[in-house]
Chain A
Amino acid sequence: MLIRAEKLGKSYTKKGRSGRIVRALQETDISLESGKLTVIFGRSGSGKTTLVNILSGLVRPTEGSVFYGDKNIFSMNDGELSRFRIKNIGYIPQGQSALSVLTVVENVLLPASLIGKDSAAEAERLLEIVGLTELRNAYPNELSGGELRRLAVARALINKPAVIFADEPTNDLDDENTRLVLDLLKKTAAGGAAVVVVTHEQSAAAFADVICRMDGGVLTEEKGCKRDIA
């Protein structure tokens, strides 16, 4: 599925007395292809998280549109968009994102339960891939940072989405876990999904098919980054 964003912009009012309006994203165009891992680099506050939040349908842009195929996802209402997201989009948020009340396997199965899908076998397969089979019944507080990040990857993949967005998936991880997580995402892309990784971790470049860079809410081209809409 081809994903394309047209003239995306996002402004928000800063909290506090100043009420300053911040332009987090400015007239950004981008297209993403299936089977490729796109890495978006950028400093903190450059707008890269805002971009993936909009591309994943999590945050509505102030301007512009995002098309999945021919479908403008922001023309849908919240319920429709949520259903679309759960079936087509996997999202790995920043930091620890496992639900503490659920075991590892329950966390992985949660997105499938939202669409009433029996994905027990798929969950076991993913847990094996991410190396968490033995911890399937453990609770998140028993897991290390790397294990939690791998759990988030498995959860994002459970519904076999066409697109995966990962926001700083290697933050705070040691080299070995960084490599493990990026390798997993690379393999997912190789399996046909469009994978977008937002990071400031330069080592991610080695895994990227496409590299983009964000600065001041503006996307700049680098290795294969398609800013122009086809």
Chain B
Amino acid sequence: MSRKTLPLKNLLHKPLRTAALVLIAAFMTAALFGGSVAAASLQNGLESLEKRLGADIIVVPEEAEAKVELENILLQGTPGYFYMDKSVQEKLAAVEGVELTSPQYFLVSANAECCSVQVQIMGFDEDTDFTIKPWLKETYSGTLGENEIIVGSSLSTQVGHTLKLYGVECKAVGKLDATGTGLDTAIYTTNDTVRTLIRASQEKGIGVLAKQSPDDVISSVYIKVKDGYDIAEVAGNINLSIDGVEAVRTRSMITGTADRLSAISGGINAARLAVWVLAAVIMTAAFSVLAGVRRREFAILRTIGFSRRQLGAEVLSESGMICAAGIAAGLLLTSLTVFPFGRLIEQRTGLPYLSPGLLSSSKFALLAAAAVLITGALSSAYSAYRLSRADTGNILREGD
């Protein structure tokens, strides 16, 4: 028999009461931890998106905006394509304030050809690219050869395996880290390989280009503006000076996403605060009621020789155990819901969603655990104080 086992025995003796309190603590942990992870995932997603874009301006054919939701293709990897004459790149390079230009090719895989759904194929120019290559380098440092591809993190294809695209065997030489966006389901390769695929599609009679040769077109041009130039001004100049194209500021593309993310993050924070306050009130009320119910029990402990400090420690130990169990349950619950369903959350919200890494997640878990433990301790502190100060003699007399 050890005094230290008494709080545990007390909790086990009233399983329903204990379970209810553990549930409250678990709910609070899940709200705090889950909310932190969700908010961070959305923030990570946005940052990843900004990083991924890497360009100040993206130039696309004028009709692209009408044909597809431009933002969806560029930011979410929604399958789609459009083309313009490749001479546009030279014209853009001549515009004042333009520092770098790099063309990209978009193509969509044929239905059910390689994957369970159509995927976006994005071609980039090995020599001039400054947006995709830095990202690819994190997982693949070599130079992409003919018919070699790099797959997004959400595709099931593994490195070394081949994918058949328009009948062409393409070898996966790398797999990207997750971005938390639809770009995770895209395939990345060189412009040359995309041209090969377009030609193959034409041979199969499912060509995406009716009149032009794939060698004469590009889908978009990514532009980096020189330091000291106003990006909006450069974009405006492009729109004025080059016919048939539209220059879009990347920052303006993600403004809507950032605004929605900010609103959702605000909602998450408000929900977190509400749950925390509610749980704190319920726990305080519960401990207070229990303090009233257990007055005689604590008076008996006092007659046995428990000091006021030991009585307080008894209450705080019980509260600590309840919170610890609630924290474990809450963290488990969150881990089983928020992390595995990140992709679903991304699809449902239409927002980039990139779960934080182990270190950040551990930090959030620790902070949530600390918040719940402190709340539990504070909720029970008053009860502990009341019980330890109660008049033992009076309580014992009341009981008879």
- Give me the interface of A with B, judged by CB distance under 8 Å: 49-50, 53, 56, 58-59, 78-79, 81-83, 85-86, 89, 91, 93-95, 97, 99-102, 105-106, 109-114, 155, 167-168, 171
| B6 within 8 Å of A (CB atoms) | yes
Task: Enumerate chain A residues within 8 angstroms of B297, measured Cβ to Cβ.
Answer: 99
Task: Enumerate chain B residues within 8 angstroms of A113, measured Cβ to Cβ.
Answer: 1-3
Task: Enumerate chain B residues within 8 angstroms of A101, measured Cβ to Cβ.
Answer: 6, 9-10, 12-13
Supposing A78-B309, A101-B13, A110-B1 touch, asked if A95 and B304 sit within 8 A by C-beta, the answer is no
Q: Is the beta-carbon distance between B1 and A109 smaller than 8 angstroms?
A: yes
| B52 within 8 Å of A (CB atoms) | no
Extra inter-chain contacts (12) besides given A99-B297, A105-B1, CB under 8 Å: A56-B303, A58-B392, A59-B392, A82-B307, A89-B305, A101-B9, A102-B9, A109-B1, A110-B1, A114-B306, A114-B310, A155-B304
Rounded to whole Å, the gap between the CB of B358 and the closest CB of chain A is: 40
Bound together, the chains give a CA A100 to CA B6 distance in angstroms of 11
Q: Is the beta-carbon distance between B300 and A97 smaller than 8 angstroms?
A: yes
Bound together, the chains give a CA A168 to CA B397 distance in angstroms of 11
Chain A's closest residue to B400 (CB) is: A95
Q: How many residues of B contact A (CB 8 A)?
A: 28
**Most chain-A CB neighbours within 10 Å: which of B1, B13, B301, B396?**
B1
Chain A's closest residue to B399 (CB) is: A95
Task: Enumerate chain B residues within 8 angstroms of A78, measured Cβ to Cβ.
Answer: 307-309
**Most chain-B CB neighbours within 10 Å: which of A93, A100, A113, A114?**
A93
| B207 within 8 Å of A (CB atoms) | no
Rounded to whole Å, the gap between the CB of B328 and the closest CB of chain A is: 23
Return the 6 tightest CB-CB contacts between A and B, nearest first: A86-B305, A82-B307, A109-B1, A101-B13, A53-B393, A101-B9
Chain A's closest residue to B301 (CB) is: A99
Bound together, the chains give a CA A78 to CA B396 distance in angstroms of 19
Interface string of B271-306 (1 = CB under 8 A from A): 000000000000000000000000001011111111
Q: Is the beta-carbon distance between A59 and B391 smaller than 8 angstroms?
A: yes
Chain A's closest residue to B302 (CB) is: A58
Chain B's closest residue to A167 (CB) is: B396
Rounded to whole Å, the gap between the CB of B95 and the closest CB of chain A is: 81
Rounded to whole Å, the gap between the CB of A193 and the closest CB of chain B is: 16
Task: Enumerate chain B residues within 8 angstroms of A109, measured Cβ to Cβ.
Answer: 1
Q: Is the beta-carbon distance between B399 and A94 smaller than 8 angstroms?
A: yes
Chain B's closest residue to A86 (CB) is: B305
Bound together, the chains give a CA A56 to CA B393 distance in angstroms of 11
Task: Enumerate chain B residues within 8 angstroms of A86, measured Cβ to Cβ.
Answer: 304-305
Bound together, the chains give a CA A58 to CA B395 distance in angstroms of 12
Q: Is the beta-carbon distance between A82 and B306 smaller than 8 angstroms?
A: yes
Partner of A49, one of B9, B13, B393: B393
Supposing A50-B393, A94-B399, A105-B1 touch, asked if A111 and B304 sit within 8 A by C-beta, the answer is yes
Task: Enumerate chain B residues within 8 angstroms of A112, measured Cβ to Cβ.
Answer: 1
Task: Enumerate chain A residues within 8 angstroms of B299, measured Cβ to Cβ.
Answer: 93
Name 14 interchain pairs, CB-CB below 8 A, sorted by A. A58-B393, A59-B391, A82-B308, A82-B310, A89-B305, A93-B300, A101-B10, A102-B1, A102-B6, A106-B1, A109-B1, A113-B3, A114-B305, A114-B310
Bound together, the chains give a CA A93 to CA B6 distance in angstroms of 20
Bound together, the chains give a CA A79 to CA B312 distance in angstroms of 12
Q: Is the beta-carbon distance between B304 and A114 smaller than 8 angstroms?
A: yes
Bound together, the chains give a CA A106 to CA B8 distance in angstroms of 14
Bound together, the chains give a CA A91 to CA B301 distance in angstroms of 11
Chain B's closest residue to A24 (CB) is: B393
Task: Enumerate chain B residues within 8 angstroms of A53, measured Cβ to Cβ.
Answer: 392-393
Task: Enumerate chain B residues within 8 angstroms of A94, measured Cβ to Cβ.
Answer: 396-397, 399-400
Chain A's closest residue to B394 (CB) is: A12
Task: Enumerate chain B residues within 8 angstroms of A79, measured Cβ to Cβ.
Answer: 307, 309
Task: Enumerate chain B residues within 8 angstroms of A85, measured Cβ to Cβ.
Answer: 305
Q: Is the beta-carbon distance between A114 and B3 smaller than 8 angstroms?
A: yes
Rounded to whole Å, the gap between the CB of A100 and the closest CB of chain B is: 7
Supposing A99-B300, A106-B1, A110-B1 touch, asked if A93 and B305 sit within 8 A by C-beta, the answer is no
Task: Enumerate chain B residues within 8 angstroms of A59, measured Cβ to Cβ.
Answer: 391-393
Supposing A49-B397, A95-B396 touch, asked if A82 and B305 sit within 8 A by C-beta, the answer is yes
Task: Enumerate chain A residues within 8 angstroms of B301, measured Cβ to Cβ.
Answer: 99
Rounded to whole Å, the gap between the CB of B61 and the closest CB of chain A is: 77
Bound together, the chains give a CA A215 to CA B39 distance in angstroms of 71
Bound together, the chains give a CA A167 to CA B12 distance in angstroms of 31
Supposing A49-B393, A53-B392, A105-B1 touch, asked if A91 and B304 sit within 8 A by C-beta, the answer is yes
Bound together, the chains give a CA A94 to CA B307 distance in angstroms of 20
Bound together, the chains give a CA A171 to CA B307 distance in angstroms of 28
Rounded to whole Å, the gap between the CB of A152 and the closest CB of chain B is: 9
Bound together, the chains give a CA A93 to CA B1 distance in angstroms of 22
Rounded to whole Å, the gap between the CB of B62 and the closest CB of chain A is: 79
Interface string of B1-36 (1 = CB under 8 A from A): 111001001101100000000000000000000000
Rounded to whole Å, the gap between the CB of B179 and the closest CB of chain A is: 54
Chain A's closest residue to B304 (CB) is: A111
Bound together, the chains give a CA A105 to CA B1 distance in angstroms of 9
Q: Is the beta-carbon distance between B3 and A58 smaller than 8 angstroms?
A: no
Bound together, the chains give a CA A49 to CA B400 distance in angstroms of 13
